[in-house]
Structure 1
Amino acid sequence: MTAGVLENTGQVTAGRRLDWVDAAKGMSILLVVAHHAIWFLQRSGQAPAAIVAANEALASLRMPLFFLASGLFAAGPLAASWRVVLHKRVAFFLYLFAIWTVIRFTFFATVVPPVVDPDDSANPVEFALALFLPGPSMWFLYALALFAVLAKLMRPLPVWLQLGASGLLSALVGAGALELDGSRWTYMARLLFFFLVGLHARTPVERLAGLTSVLRVALAVAGCVGAAGVAVVFGLRTVPGVALALQCIAVATGVLFAAWIARLRFGRPLVHLGRRTLPIYLIHMLWLALIMIGVRHLELPTAAAYALPFVMVPVLTALALLTHRLLVAAGARWLFELPPRLAYRR
């Protein structure tokens, strides 16, 4: 699988197992779209405090689950030669990172008023330093390329050492005991652990998914909410390891939920969506910025302010997928795929 967590793939392995991973990816991408929508609404003063707080709480789930899924798909390519790794993982993701960083910068610099953008995406200094300080929305692609290189380099090391070292790094950074320049590097330091868990602990993760049931999902959600509440009430998040533990609990809950919903008929759209995360991830922010140019002028009633993020998520997702289909039909497949001259050849 060339693009792992982001690639639209038709490969099937063990049917339901792939379905739940795709459901996890679908859930993650919807949470990412919701996060960005709330982020923009917060910038314009239109996001209710409760929605903002819920969005912050979901940070323990959305990207750790995404990177876990990415690690699950990466084992095959990373077991191959360096040539395969560099083509299928590094070149692919860095190509997308480079081209969409240019697109995003150009779009926000020419179309989007600065007052709309919470990321300062049109900053020419940050654009010039993108290879050293990855941008606010494209950093995930950068991280996948970097993690592939790191995982390949670490293959000779014992798995316990890889997970222990990356877990320690995540715990220290998550507690603020170790500070890194740039929030994106901070994110990557915290999330490498989950990529490596997906890469090396596929069997235990699959066993967890196999244990799913309505009762276990409900108990996991209750435990996740309770643990987060205790951490907030007693101010424990600055204790090294607590933030990492909360992320692990949230990811375990996400795995159980994805495995449960993937078995149900009404969960099929989520599975289907999980196989098409790439265009959603790349395109939805452009549509979001355009929508916010108009929405920021509205005086929203309280009910509408609470409902708006839930409305924007499916709208942005549909617009991104439609835009992707139109671009591919127009011959712009190169926006989403590595050019043939750079792609891996046996």
Structure 2
Amino acid sequence: MTDARARERAPVAVAPRGVRLEWIDAARGYSVAAVVLAHVVLWHAADPGVPVADVGASLWDRVYSVLGSVRMPVLLAVSGLVVAGRVRAGFRAGGLTVRVARNYYLYVVWLLIYAVFYAVVREPGLPHRVDGPLDVLRQLVVPGTTLWYVFALAVYIAVLGALYRAPAWAVLGGLAVLSVVTATFTTSDQVWSKVPELAVFFAIGVYGSGVLRRLAERASVPLAFAAAFVAAGVTALGRFTAGHDVAGAVLSLARGTAFLVVAVLVVVLAVRWNPVRRLGLALGRQTLPIYVLHPLWIALLIVAAGSVGHDVEAAVLGSTLGAILYPAVVGSVVVALCLAVGTGVRRVGLQVPLFAMPARWSQAFERADARTAEPHER
């Protein structure tokens, strides 16, 4: 390895294994909580089948719009930041084969679990269904559920690891163009399109890890307000892009980046308060159970509401206070249920295979990485 190459990679070196800045875990935790809240609003609270008080409906419509600019850009960028050093070292030195395999393994396991779940819970209107063997086979390569994120991590690590010799500006520029093209020519119901459209945010975490860490180190209230002002200004430009698909896609990319900066600053400042820090860490260290389980709990909620709960929902959502609080309360309950299941899985010894690849499989992939390592990388 040349001195120039070593200097180029120095800023993205990650902390020793097991040591991580707390704000990173907290950012992951609050991002995945935002994912849950957004899905509660989108799949249930936005159309619960009963009248909703206007104030509550308007509030959550705005909240959902903001969450759309925050939740996945932040979650993907932080996911990229965590593996930045390894991805930029390439497949051999970074040991990426096992990381790609682990993510795809989890995707397949939970795709099968979703298929079994929806074979039992047969309500046709449920979001992100997996229906039968043919649908499973199709989704092995074309994700159609919220599990696309788990699938995408495998793809992103593989692609960026293969491109580790390419200049960062070229990769980021290419992915930005891919994002705009994908957003322009696909629709929101094509779930697979999120993989290419949002890849640039994972890459921002990989190639901009040093920038994000320095931003976190310099976090202050004035800087957070300044970043929020910029993000609001970028959002306001949306009035000029209505009806222009390409301009709207470019603005969406800029808005996601702006809100990523805001989110990093806000989380860093917020975790200085112990209750926020502890909650963020608790969520951030259990993101996988929350992410993969929450659609199933929301589906059960929708089924229960449709069969026995309309009168209760009508009473709650018809009041201003109820309509304002309902999505947040439901989202919190869903997160708690996911954490409870995750804890139960660990206690009964099912962490493997549900949330981790069997050790012997991981070791086999690690040996494959070791065998292909170049002599100077061993």
Q: Report the Cα distance in structure 2 between the residues aligned to 1:133 and 1:85, rounded to whole angstroms.
A: 22
Q: Give the drift of 1:307.
A: 1.4
2:28 corresponds, among 17, 25, 30, to 25
1:223 aligns with 2:230: yes
Q: Report the Cα distance in structure 1 between the residues aligned to 2:284 and 2:260, rounded to whole angstroms.
A: 16
The corresponding residue for 2:318 is 301
Instruction: Name whichever of 277-286 and 209-218 sits farther off.
Output: 209-218
Q: Report the Cα distance in structure 2 between the residues aligned to 1:121 and 1:139, rounded to whole angstroms.
A: 13
Q: Give the drift of 1:139.
A: 0.6
Cα contact 1:237–1:243 (8 A) shared by 2: no
Instruction: Name whichever of 231-240 and 25-34 sits farther off.
Output: 231-240
Q: Secondary structure at the match of 1:52?
A: helix
The one-letter code of the counterpart of 1:188 is V
The one-letter code of the counterpart of 1:295 is A
1:1-346 alignment runs, 5 A limit: 11-13=18-20, 18-41=21-44, 42-45=46-49, 48-78=57-87, 79=89, 81-82=91-92, 84-87=95-98, 89-115=99-125, 117-122=126-131, 125-174=134-183, 176=184, 178-179=185-186, 183-232=190-239, 235=242, 238=245, 239=247, 241-268=250-277, 269-296=279-306, 297=310, 298-299=313-314, 300-303=317-320, 304-334=322-352, 335-344=354-363, 345=366
Q: Report the Cα distance in structure 2 between the residues aligned to 1:44 and 1:109, rounded to whole angstroms.
A: 23
Q: Give the drift of 1:270.
A: 1.2
The one-letter code of the counterpart of 2:357 is L
The one-letter code of the counterpart of 2:274 is R
The corresponding residue for 1:3 is none
Question: Any idea what the Cα deviations from partners look like across 1:164-187, whole Å, max 9, x if unmatched?
Answer: 11112223333x1x4489723321
Instruction: Name whichever of 140-149 and 32-41 sits farther off.
Output: 32-41
Q: Give the drift of 1:98.
A: 0.5
Q: Give the drift of 1:216.
A: 2.3
Q: Report the Cα distance in structure 2 between the residues aligned to 1:234 and 1:333, rounded to whole angstroms.
A: 47
Q: Give the drift of 1:252.
A: 0.8
Instruction: Name whichever of 229-238 and 293-302 sits farther off.
Output: 229-238
CA RMSD of aligned residues (A): 2.4
Cα contact 2:90–2:164 (8 A) shared by 1: no
Q: Report the Cα distance in structure 1 between the residues aligned to 2:325 and 2:193, rounded to whole angstroms.
A: 32
Question: 1:286 and 1:114, CA in 2 relative to 1: closer, same or farther beyond 3 A?
Answer: same
Q: Report the Cα distance in structure 2 between the residues aligned to 1:123 and 1:40, rounded to whole angstroms.
A: 22
Instruction: Name whichever of 125-134 and 153-162 sits farther off.
Output: 125-134
Provide structure 1 residue ranges, at least 5 long, that are not aligned to the other structure.
Answer: 1-8
Question: Any idea what the Cα deviations from partners look like across 1:184-212, whole Å, max 9, x if unmatched?
Answer: 33212221111111111211111112221
Q: Give the drift of 1:76.
A: 3.6
Question: Any idea what the Cα deviations from partners look like across 1:232-264, whole Å, max 9, x if unmatched?
Answer: 365276315222111111111111111111222
Cα contact 2:91–2:162 (8 A) shared by 1: no
State the TM-score, normalized to the length of structure 2.
Answer: 0.80
| Aligned positions, number | 330
Question: Any idea what the Cα deviations from partners look like across 1:248-303, whole Å, max 9, x if unmatched?
Answer: 11111111111111222232111332121111112122222222222342323243
- What percent identity do the matched residue pairs reach? 29
Provide structure 2 residue ranges, at least 5 long, that are not aligned to the other structure.
Answer: 1-15, 368-378
The one-letter code of the counterpart of 2:61 is V
Question: 1:49 and 1:124, CA in 2 relative to 1: closer, same or farther beyond 3 A?
Answer: farther
The one-letter code of the counterpart of 2:268 is A
Q: Give the drift of 1:126.
A: 3.0
Q: Give the drift of 1:222.
A: 3.5
Instruction: Name whichever of 285-294 and 97-106 sits farther off.
Output: 285-294
Q: Secondary structure at the match of 1:129?
A: helix
Instruction: Name whichever of 238-247 and 142-151 sits farther off.
Output: 238-247
Q: Give the drift of 1:310.
A: 0.5
Q: Give the drift of 1:43.
A: 4.5
Q: Report the Cα distance in structure 1 between the residues aligned to 2:122 and 2:227, rounded to whole angstroms.
A: 41
Q: Secondary structure at the match of 1:342?
A: helix
Write out the 4+ residue segments of structure 1 that deviate beyond 6 Å after TM superposition: none
Cα contact 1:172–1:241 (8 A) shared by 2: no
Q: Report the Cα distance in structure 1 between the residues aligned to 2:262 and 2:192, rounded to whole angstroms.
A: 26
Cα contact 1:112–1:293 (8 A) shared by 2: no
Q: Larger Cα Rg: Structure 1 or Structure 2?
A: 2
The one-letter code of the counterpart of 2:108 is A
Q: Give the drift of 1:111.
A: 2.2
The one-letter code of the counterpart of 1:19 is E
Cα contact 2:220–2:269 (8 A) shared by 1: yes
